[in-house]
Structure 1
Amino acid sequence: MEAFDSFALTLPIMALTVSAVFLALWRFGLKAALFWGLGFGCSGLGFLMSLPLGPAEAIAMSGDALFVFGFFFYGQALLTHFGVDYPLRHRLLLIGGYLGVDAYLVFGLGDLRSELLLNDLVAALLIGLPLSGVVQKAHATADRLLVAAASMVVIETLTRVAAINYLVGGTDDLAAFAESVYAVAIQLTAGCFGVLLAAAAFGSMVMRVMLNYRRAAEIDPLTGLYNRRGLDQALKPAQGGAAWSGVIVVTDIDHFKQVNDRYGHAAGDMVIAAFALEIRTSIPAGAVAARLGGEEFVICLPAANLAEAGVLAHGIRLRFAGRDWRQFGIDRQITASFGVAKMQAENDNLQAAIDRADQCLYEAKGAGRNMVVVEGGVFETGEALVADLQAALTALKSAQG
């Protein structure tokens, strides 16, 4: 038993060390790390209670409370990591009810078997209930590994519940806990699965930090659209996949410098953000939009043709030109111009298509602005386009009638 006695001391030291690491990570702004740190800290102190440090009843009650709060913090860490809300009140009521019943079992009945059974069931619920709420949020591989590790902890805890009679043996004496098979089993399994959970939680948080840094490097902070680096990554073909193809729309806000000069850069930023929102809410699923810089944007429409892209651009143009900016302190109309070009062949590249769309944009500027120019020299105002579409629809109905 000396080996197990040594392990009984090693386990809390390991748990408290892991707790310190997570609490250090919390200082760097990782919110979930606080709860992981508290969880492993409570568990480490709970394992210390397996050592003969005082009266059996006081040790049992203290250890039970620490383990239950440890599992509560594990569950809260999962919820925080995945950004899921789960009723706190219900879990706190569960803990309050548990502590009352557990005190009766420990101090009133001295019933070891019932005490351990209740502790394991409540611990499994406190991590299992939050776990059920985050499963659907685990999309990344690291997050799925975290969910799997937490699931294994729940299964391991419930397995002890099923085998409680065998593990405890024929005694209900609280003082006999340290000599029971249960004490050895919980030290071995908790040590293994605790390390697994800690590694999975750490890996998932590190991956989340890396993704956040990558997102910050690829997303324009003002508009929430991709920047140029993000655009290149979004359109980069997967390994062995086909290169991107479709239609490119390049657009910018007309006379934007005048907006900045007359109304200030804060008002200009609001105009840019509003234009980006109009683009984001107008493009179809699968399309990609980016801010190339300043007031210039690009929209990439896969599997679209020039006519479809032109209709989309006209729609954005008309809605943006019809906005009322007085709430931003701007008492004038603000418009945008658009250039549309298609990837010409499989060996065509994105930059070449953007350059051609940009040339169409310059033509729109030269023709009076607030206009869409489609590659090939075709350009119309929104009103003319609507009239053409209505005429085409009328002709189609006549042909069908």
Structure 2
Amino acid sequence: MGENFAFFLPVMMASFGVAFGFVWSLRVRAASYWSGAYFCVAGGFAMLAGFALFPSPIWGFAADLLLASGFLLFSQALLERWRTSWLLRARIAIWALSIMLCAVAVVLGDLRLELVASSLGCFLLIGLPLIAGKDHLRNWSDCPLFAAAALVALDNLVRGSTVPLTLSNQGSFPTSHYAFLMQALACLFGLFLALSALAANMLDLLARYRREALHDPLSGLLNRRGFDEAIAQHARRKGVEGSLIVCDIDHFKAINDQFGHAFGDRVIVALAELFASSIPASAIIARFGGEEFVLFLPGTHAARAGAIANDIREAVSQAVGARLGLTRTLGLTRPLTASFGLSTVQRDEGSIHQAIARADEALYEAKMRGRNRVCVRRALCAPTPDVFSLVSNS
């Protein structure tokens, strides 16, 4: 059975290396460490097959080197999830010490020392990330991954501590109980660890794709689809009563034409940061495209929403204007301003998009009245007398 393991394990481990390599190609950083780790471990177990064909202590040392390197990569792969590069120098020192002790043991012909140094070194390399990760198990996928890594660590600790019992004959390592336990448990726990890590990485990948699908890549705010989904979730919990604000940067096309689209992107990012820091925590904000932003204020009446919109309007002029020196930083020749349209969501409305349409009409009114102001349209039919504006005299 030991010979079967000797040929099966390298193939299994290398297969996981290929699988993680594919995940890495999808831009999952941690998968690169998992891939490298499983290829190293595959090489380490392949050395046992080489020893069976051409017995030599060099095969054992090569296996020690590859296994230690694989476990160093395992530790980094785990810490990519929980605490990147934590105790990196200490882990490299453990790796080097384990390899050095294995080399000394090979020179001295002391197989027990070699196995103890290798097993306990691997235990420390994969055990340290467990200390760092125990308080960072935020996702359910982290729990089986943590458990699998703990089992691998325990396996190496127990094997390293019981070498005198499992290695009765130093001259016949391939047929020893230690070799059998090492390969059998590596097959079991290595499979558990690989499947747990693959599941965690794929869930991370799906979460990233979902995040990218719902967020604007430039501003980091929700996009139209993300806004609709956030509103739908909020509606299921608390309804959609509140106020709706639509914001549009004044003369944004002129900014792009004068300074270029890259500069226009910088303005979008600066304003997105300003909006995100100025709105209530319960608000939902999105960039609908171009220079247009939409803000939903749950449970907020028109007067309070108008005050919030006016505060943001003044902050746009001041924070990106000359008063704080950002005009010189951005290179603008005049203060940046924005216009706002506001409407409330009616109880009997079937969709928030009706309120968005009214807010758009109010925004158009703000543009027509000279920009840099807040216009409010309350009624469903939006007659002219229900339109008013807030504008600074500065």
TM bin, normalised by shorter chain, reads: 0.7 to 0.9
SS of the counterpart of 1:60? helix
Matches within 5 A, 1:298-313: 298-313=294-309
Q: CA shift at 1:251, angstroms?
A: 0.8
Query: Which segment drifts farther, 8-17 or 308-317?
Result: 308-317
CA spacing shift, 1:246–1:192, aligned 2, 3 Å: farther
Letter in 2 for 1:115: E
Letter in 2 for 1:236: A
Tell me which residue corresponds to 2:68: 68
Q: CA shift at 1:123, angstroms?
A: 0.8
**1:316-371 superposed Cα distances (whole Å, 9 cap, x missing partner):** 11111122333333201221111233322275422122223223323333333211
Select the residue among 323, 336, 339 that pairs with 1:337.
339
Tell me which residue corresponds to 1:124: 123
Q: CA shift at 1:277, angstroms?
A: 1.6
SS of the counterpart of 1:285? coil
Q: CA shift at 1:233, angstroms?
A: 1.9
**1:34-60 superposed Cα distances (whole Å, 9 cap, x missing partner):** 221221111112112334244453233
- Separation in 2 of the partners of 1:302 and 1:151? 45
- Separation in 1 of the partners of 2:148 and 2:307? 50
Unaligned segments of structure 2, at least 5 residues: 322-326, 379-386
Q: CA shift at 1:266, angstroms?
A: 3.0
Select the residue among 354, 357, 365 that pairs with 2:356.
354
Select the residue among 39, 64, 73 that pairs with 2:37.
39
Q: CA shift at 1:161, angstroms?
A: 4.1
Count residues in correspondence.
378
Q: CA shift at 1:236, angstroms?
A: 2.5
- Separation in 1 of the partners of 2:232 and 2:158? 47
Tell me which residue corresponds to 1:212: 208
Give me the TM-score of the superposition, normalised by structure 2: 0.85
Tell me which residue corresponds to 1:202: 198
- Computed over aligned residues only, the root mean square deviation of the Cα atoms, in angstroms, reads 2.7
**1:156-202 superposed Cα distances (whole Å, 9 cap, x missing partner):** 3334345544433xx3x432322222211121111011111112222
CA spacing shift, 1:16–1:258, aligned 2, 3 Å: closer
- Separation in 2 of the partners of 1:30 and 1:161? 33
Query: Which segment drifts farther, 302-311 or 198-207?
Result: 302-311
- Separation in 2 of the partners of 1:120 and 1:304? 62
Tell me which residue corresponds to 1:147: 146
Letter in 2 for 1:226: L
Select the residue among 224, 229, 232 that pairs with 2:225.
229
Select the residue among 190, 193, 204 that pairs with 2:186.
190
Matched, 1:380 2:390: yes
CA spacing shift, 1:311–1:211, aligned 2, 3 Å: same
Select the residue among 8, 11, 15 that pairs with 1:10.
8
SS of the counterpart of 1:224? coil
Work out whether residues 2 and 174 of structure 2, in 8 Å CA contact, stay in contact via their aligned partners in 1: no
Query: Which segment drifts farther, 70-79 or 200-209?
Result: 200-209
Q: CA shift at 1:241, angstroms?
A: 3.9
Query: Which segment drifts farther, 190-199 or 134-143?
Result: 134-143
Q: CA shift at 1:154, angstroms?
A: 2.0
Matched, 1:293 2:295: no
SS of the counterpart of 1:146? helix
Q: CA shift at 1:274, angstroms?
A: 1.8
Letter in 2 for 1:271: V
Query: Which segment drifts farther, 374-383 or 13-22?
Result: 374-383
- Separation in 2 of the partners of 1:71 and 1:216? 33
Q: CA shift at 1:292, angstroms?
A: 0.9
**1:242-294 superposed Cα distances (whole Å, 9 cap, x missing partner):** 44443322111123223233333333222222221211121232322111122
Tell me which residue corresponds to 2:95: 95
Q: CA shift at 1:11, angstroms?
A: 1.1
CA spacing shift, 1:221–1:174, aligned 2, 3 Å: same
- Separation in 2 of the partners of 1:22 and 1:96? 26
Letter in 1 for 2:343: A
Q: CA shift at 1:229, angstroms?
A: 0.8
Select the residue among 170, 174, 177 that pairs with 1:174.
170
Select the residue among 254, 267, 275 that pairs with 1:258.
254
**1:120-159 superposed Cα distances (whole Å, 9 cap, x missing partner):** 2221221222343345454333344333322332233334
SS of the counterpart of 1:290? strand
**1:86-131 superposed Cα distances (whole Å, 9 cap, x missing partner):** 243222222222222222334326141x433332222122122234
Unaligned segments of structure 1, at least 5 residues: 385-401
SS of the counterpart of 1:300? strand
CA spacing shift, 1:327–1:15, aligned 2, 3 Å: same
- Separation in 2 of the partners of 1:218 and 1:266? 23
Tell me which residue corresponds to 2:383: none
- Separation in 2 of the partners of 1:175 and 1:28? 47
Tell me which residue corresponds to 2:384: none
Letter in 1 for 2:390: E
Letter in 2 for 1:6: N
Identity rate of aligned residues, in percent? 36
Tell me which residue corresponds to 1:273: 269
Work out whether residues 339 and 371 of structure 2, in 8 Å CA contact, stay in contact via their aligned partners in 1: yes
- Separation in 2 of the partners of 1:16 and 1:116? 23
Work out whether residues 12 and 45 of structure 1, in 8 Å CA contact, stay in contact via their aligned partners in 2: yes
Work out whether residues 246 and 360 of structure 2, in 8 Å CA contact, stay in contact via their aligned partners in 1: yes
Tell me which residue corresponds to 1:396: none
- Separation in 2 of the partners of 1:103 and 1:14? 28
Give me the TM-score of the superposition, normalised by structure 1: 0.84
Letter in 1 for 2:139: A
